[in-house]
Every structure is written in structure tokens, then in C-alpha cells.
Amino acid sequence: MPNTRSLTTPAPSFPSPASGHSEGVSNEEFRAAMSRLASGVVLVTAQEPPLDPDDPLAPRGEDVGMTATAFMSVSLDPPLVLVSLREGSRMDDLLDEQPLWAVSVLSESQRHIAGRFAMKGRVSDRLLFADIPYVRGEATGAPLAGGALATLECRTEQRVPAGDHTLVIGRVLTASLPSADGGPLTYFRGRYRQLG
């Protein structure tokens, strides 16, 4: 006769919750851990829709840009990428109404661009673009930074709310390699860095 006595496994023990989070990790702990993950740096850009889309003479909308380190390839077939945007940020609000946007993969010599578009309390985006060389994407009309290692033009396929961010998944419409000079700009332990 088989042994019918039930075996019990002790419940796993977890560390006591840190203040503010029932999951057991504080903002500071999470931020410190994630700062050890090196990330590439990109400039995400889009153009506001015209004030009157039915009037071809209506003024174009302003160009908008932001620095992002949470950017990744999602799929090869179809070609999809993902960028994480702070919920309620200007770019999040814009991409909620404008499905066309672009990404410039910044080179190590473009640290000044990354810093400029990451500023808090910054001046208008129009002034930020003033002395930066760029061309307009043919598929999106969005600015593509001159000297970038790669540029991608995208159309939003899906928006996924994720905590205090929105994950925007875009289908890649065009991809080009405007510059082969230099290495990538990376972000590690709270600073922009170069490889090597």
C-alpha cells in the first residue's frame, strides 16, 4: 500500500517589503540595480500634426524630440521596435495622436544631443533643434539626426500601459546607416559613456 501521508513544503520566505512597495524593492534599490545595465542612447523624434490637416497651407506642427535609453528591437518579421516613454510626457502625449515617429541611434560624438534632449525644464523643442544638423524622414517627416549611426522611421502598431510608462511598439518603415564613424553612445551608472 502506498504511503498516503502528505508531504508539506515550508513556505518560501521573502525579505520584508521596502517602504512604499509591497513587492519588496525600493525605488532607490531598483534604480541602482538597473543603472548597472548598459544601454544604447537614441533620439526619438516626431512632428506635431498640422493645426488644420485639411488646409495644405496651415502651419506645420512643431518638431519634438527626447533622449531614450529604453529602446529595443522586438521582431524581424515584421520589423518592430519598442520605446518606453514616461506616461504623460510630451512625447507620450504626442505619440498618442501622431502614429509616425523616428529614432536616431546616437554616436559617441553626439553626447551633447543626448544631454540637450534629456534636460528637465528645457526650452522649447524648436530651439533645441536650432543648431543640430538633421534631415526630414521621407516616411514620417520627423527629424533624423545628422551623423547618427543608424536612423529608423516607424509607425505605431501598439501602445501598452506599463506602470508609470507607456511601451510604444512601432513598425519600422525605413532604416538607414548614415554614418559609419565612431562607436555608439551608451548610458551606464547614470552617465553617458563610450565603448572601449
Q: Are strands 100-105 and 42-47 parallel, antiparallel or unpaired?
A: antiparallel
Candidate from 5-9, 25-29, 183-187 with smallest mean pLDDT = 5-9
The per-residue pLDDT for 15 is: 45
The per-residue pLDDT for 123 is: 62
Total-model pTM: 0.81
Q: 23: exposed, middle or buried (C-beta count within 10 Å: 0-12, 13-18, 19+)?
A: exposed
For residue 6, pLDDT over 80 is answered with: no
Cα separation, 117 vs 123, in Å, equals: 10
Higher pLDDT, 147 or 54: 147
How big is the chain by its Cα radius of gyration, in Å? 21
The per-residue pLDDT for 36 is: 65
- For 193, the 3-state DSSP assignment is strand
What average pLDDT does range 70-84 have in this prediction?
A: 96
* pLDDT band, very low/low/confident/very high, at 21 (cuts 50, 70, 90): low
Q: Are 11 and 107 in contact (CB under 8 A)?
A: no
Q: 31: exposed, middle or buried (C-beta count within 10 Å: 0-12, 13-18, 19+)?
A: exposed
Q: Are 50 and 57 in contact (CB under 8 A)?
A: no
Q: How far is CA 188 from the centre of its chain?
A: 16
* C-alpha cell of residue 106: 546616437
Higher pLDDT, 6 or 166: 166
* Residues constituting the chain: 196
Higher pLDDT, 58 or 36: 58
* pLDDT band, very low/low/confident/very high, at 70 (cuts 50, 70, 90): very high
Q: Are 18 and 26 in contact (CB under 8 A)?
A: yes
For residue 5, pLDDT over 50 is answered with: no
The per-residue pLDDT for 14 is: 43
Reported as a single tens digit per residue, the pLDDT across 87-142 is 999 999 999 999 999 999 999 999 999 999 987 766 677 788 988 999 999 999 99
* pLDDT band, very low/low/confident/very high, at 73 (cuts 50, 70, 90): very high
Q: Are 108 and 97 in contact (CB under 8 A)?
A: no
